[in-house]
Amino acid sequence: MNLRLVVENFMKYGVLICIRCHDYRQQDILLGAFLYALVPCHLFVAYIIELGAAQHAKGALGRLKRSDSGPTDDPFRVSRSFQATWYTIAWAHGINATFCLLVTTYTVYHHIHHPLIGTISQIHAIIVWLKSCSYAFTNRDLRHAYLFPQTPSTIPDTYSRCPYPRNVTVRNLAYFWWAPTLVYQPVYPRSPSAIRWLFVGKRSAEAFGLGMFIWLASAQYAAPVLRNSLDKLQTLAVASILERVMKLSTISLVIWLAGFFAVFQSALNALAEVMRFGDRQFYTDWWNSPSVGAYWRTWNKPVYHFMRRHIHSPLVGRGFSGHFASAMVFLFSGFLHELMVGVPTHNILGVAFLGMVVQLPMIYVTAPLEKMQGLNGRVLGNCIFWISFCLVGQPLAALLYFFAWQGKYGSVSRAKA
């Protein structure tokens, strides 16, 4: 976006920034605050569930030690008891976490009109839902190692600093709630130095400034392009729609990059500093991705680690192929993307879901380019990634959801292009 486009936008539309024009209803704010406050209640329920499971595990281990037969004489009976207990705990965790997500989804879709407030509430609920799942799965593995110490275990040695069941505390869970990660561990690498409050202030200022920039760019540059695209979509003027998508791609890329930096570089680093969280590799150089698959492995490390730890690796470990496991990851990710986009905009179109699913053939097509000798293959893969990223993905999805929003509410007046 160069200076000429800025001047042209100002001459054509004037100043479109208007704080009072935003429809922030009091009901939206109150319900958003209520949903945010509801999450700790479900986390406390998750703690109660794990506390009961820990007490049951301690009792089972005590009975095994007191029995004359010993813990290894009837491994089938012990293993069957563990599986039965895990099914009960898993159902309790699943009902608790999913109830929290369902309540948020229903409230956002039916009662929160403003899409920004709805998006924040929905993302928070999804994050806590993923954290609750990781909390349950990891404690299941820790409980199994606790009850069967004689079997080979993949539990890291660092976990011995807070062994099961000593990790099942409110403080431990509260730290995981705020930690910038989606994968639960009893202990995390911690920063040895004191909190650098100046660093926190700088990163917070960056996040706030970029948030303001995103709001200004959306209102001044993205909104006019979206408004002027409505009649083209109604008449299905393909050439005009492609022109609008390409025009929208510039500002959508700028907004996305600003949002990425605000979240992954500024906000998460500020939060990690306050929590003294040691592992701060939230992304790597995704912009140099030689394939579409490399982009998905590098741009969002917290989500990537969750998907690999709790979906991909367990499926591969159970005998499924890596391609099948990857397909399940993207199906699950597509479902979450539709919840994050379709629910706050009150239009379940399936565009966000399909946008994730179509990544699979693109990953398979560009994967050989990543492995080619020399730079030609990697450069070609990087070009394919950027073309799909800038033109096919975000601007088209934004256009379709905006069109659906206008068709449902019609709150934005059209302007002639």
Catalytic residues: 337
Give the C-alpha separation, 208 to 203, whole Å.
9
Count of positions (residues) in the chain: 417
Half-sphere exposure of 315 (CA within 13 A, CB side): 15
Helices marked H in 236-317? 238-260, 268-275, 292-298, 301-307, 313-317
CB-based contact 47:97 (threshold 8 Å): no
Start-to-end CA distance of the chain, whole Å, equals: 19
Q: Looking at this protein, which amino acid is placed at residue 246?
A: M
Give the number of C-alpha atoms closer than 13 A to the C-alpha of residue 342, restricted to the C-beta side. Answer: 16
Please identify which residue in the block is written with the tokens 């539709």.
338
Q: Compute the distance between CA of residue 225 and CA of residue 218 in angstroms, rounded to an integer.
A: 10
Residue 48 vs residues 39, 135, 168: alpha-carbon distances, Å: 14, 12, 9
Of 144, 145, 132, which Cα lies nearest the Cα of 184? 132
Say if CB 51 and CB 131 are below 8 A apart. Answer: no
Spatial neighbors of 91 by CB under 8 A, at least 6 apart, are none
